[in-house]
Amino acid sequence: MGVLDGKVAIVTGAGHGIGRGEALELAAQGAKVVVNDVGGTASGEGADQRPADEVVEVIRSAGGEAVANYDDVADWEGAGRLVAQAYEAFGGHDVLVNNAGIIRDRMIVSMTEEDFDSVVRVHLKGTFVTTHHACVRWRQRTKDGEQVRAAIVNTVSSAGLQGNVGQANYGAAKAGIAALTVIASLEGSRYGVRANAVAPGGVTRLTGGVLKDVEIKEPDAYTEYSRLNPQNSAPMVAWLASDQALHVTGQVFRAVGANIAHYEPWRLGAAVDNPAGEERWDPAAIGPEVNAHVFHSRHPGLKMGGG
């Protein structure tokens, strides 16, 4: 018995790395899985059905149920076909795990318009489009009198929540997904939909390129525990997708290795009032107040020119 017995799940970008580990974990926990992967390179070129097919075969060989899907999640009609396939293959849909993504790392001064647009398209738009199509069906099922218990689990990153040099496109997309997650949780609650996000860890095709002398392996190739295994975050995804987490929505977590942490959302910190009273600030008066009461510092900041 697994925590997802009887559930039908879609996992996007499930041919490699994080998504592959999630698909395998959800299947091991009893879910029937639609394994989506367009089969492109880490930077988004090309297409290949073999990665999705391979994951399906691994799941089936372990006694689970799975079907492959090769649609582009950021394509409106393609994402619609993906969600429809869950109903056609398994008679329903309960869990959406949005993981599909690519990278094109560049410094801002070197990043092209295509570099920015392509990464944001797959990560942020892809997460929105699949969420849209899934929620349309969940809302209709609620209107038809069904008690829906659905879960969305999105993939974010410390690059978006804490920032990372060279990843303006990827970080911006991941920060947007975190906001989208919270909004989906607010809108989806009326028809039984929860939405949460996980920032995973591990070495994958997308992250391994910046690490030296580290072998990039698929999650099921590890024979013992390793902090580098991208499947380590999958149990958290499975729990969030399960009815054991019905009380959890609108939250963002970090799951790396054997550690799970809760991200605290943006919140108001220290504040200052205009010492002149209830009137518009004089820009020249802002610095002394903010420096003294917000930063608790008189640091002069960036020095331009000179040396």
Is 291 inside a domain boundary? yes
Share of the chain above pLDDT 90, in %: 84
* One domain, residues 285 and 258: no
Report, as residue numbers or ranges, the catalytic residues.
157, 170, 174
* CA neighbor of 105 nearest in space, from 59, 34, 157: 157
* One domain, residues 53 and 135: yes
* One domain, residues 295 and 169: no
Please tell me the distance from the alpha carbon of residue 22 to that of residue 4, in angstroms, as a whole number.
12
**Contact of 127 with 154, CB cutoff 8 Å:** yes
* One domain, residues 19 and 141: yes
Cα dihedral sign, 204-207-209-211: negative
Residue with more model confidence, 88 or 212: 88
pTM: 0.92
Quote the number of domains for the chain: 2
Q: How many CA atoms lie within 13 A of 5 on its CB side?
A: 3
* One domain, residues 46 and 146: yes
Backbone torsions φ then ψ of 248, nearest 5 degrees: -115, 120
Q: Report the pLDDT value the prediction gives residue 297, as an integer from 0 to 100.
A: 83
Question: In the predicted model, is pLDDT for residue 301 greater than 90?
Answer: no
Question: In the predicted model, is pLDDT for residue 303 greater than 80?
Answer: no
Q: How far is CA 273 from CA 225, 228, 239, 292, in A?
A: 53, 48, 44, 12
> Mean per-residue pLDDT for 84-107?
97
| 36 pLDDT tier (thresholds 50, 70, 90) | very high
* One domain, residues 252 and 291: no
At 38, which CATH number?
Answer: 3.40.50.720
* One domain, residues 227 and 300: no
pLDDT digits (tens, 9 = 90+) for 110-138: 999 999 999 999 999 999 999 999 999 99
* One domain, residues 68 and 53: yes
Residue with more model confidence, 159 or 38: 38
223 burial level (CB within 10 Å; 0-12, 13-18, 19+): exposed
| 307 pLDDT tier (thresholds 50, 70, 90) | very low
210 burial level (CB within 10 Å; 0-12, 13-18, 19+): exposed
Is 3 inside a domain boundary? no
Is 36 inside a domain boundary? yes
pLDDT digits (tens, 9 = 90+) for 44-79: 899 999 999 999 999 999 999 999 999 999 999 999
* One domain, residues 173 and 296: no
Long-range CB contacts (within 8 A, 24+) of 205-212: 205/16, 205/17, 205/42, 206/17, 206/42, 206/101, 206/102, 206/103, 209/42
**E strands within 94-182?**
95-98, 150-155
* One domain, residues 103 and 228: yes
Q: Report the pLDDT value the prediction gives residue 43, as an integer from 0 to 100.
A: 86
Q: Among 227, 244, 263, identify where a domain stops.
A: 263
Structural domain of 90: 8-263
pLDDT digits (tens, 9 = 90+) for 137-175: 999 999 999 999 999 999 999 988 999 999 999 999 999
DSSP letter at 16? S
* One domain, residues 71 and 138: yes
Q: Report the pLDDT value the prediction gives residue 209, as an integer from 0 to 100.
A: 56
What H or E segment, with its residue span, contains residue 160? helix 158-161
pLDDT digits (tens, 9 = 90+) for 188-241: 999 999 999 999 988 887 765 555 667 788 989 998 999 889 999 999 999 999
* One domain, residues 272 and 259: no
Q: Report the pLDDT value the prediction gives residue 203, as an integer from 0 to 100.
A: 86
**E strands within 128-279?**
150-155, 193-200, 252-256, 259-263
Residues linked to residue 131 through DSSP beta bridges, in sequence order = none
> Mean per-residue pLDDT for 29-39?
97
Please tell me the distance from the alpha carbon of residue 199 to that of residue 131, in angstroms, as a whole number.
18
Maximum Cα–Cα distance for the chain, whole Å? 73
Share of the chain above pLDDT 70, in %: 95
Structure tokens at 52: 């999705």
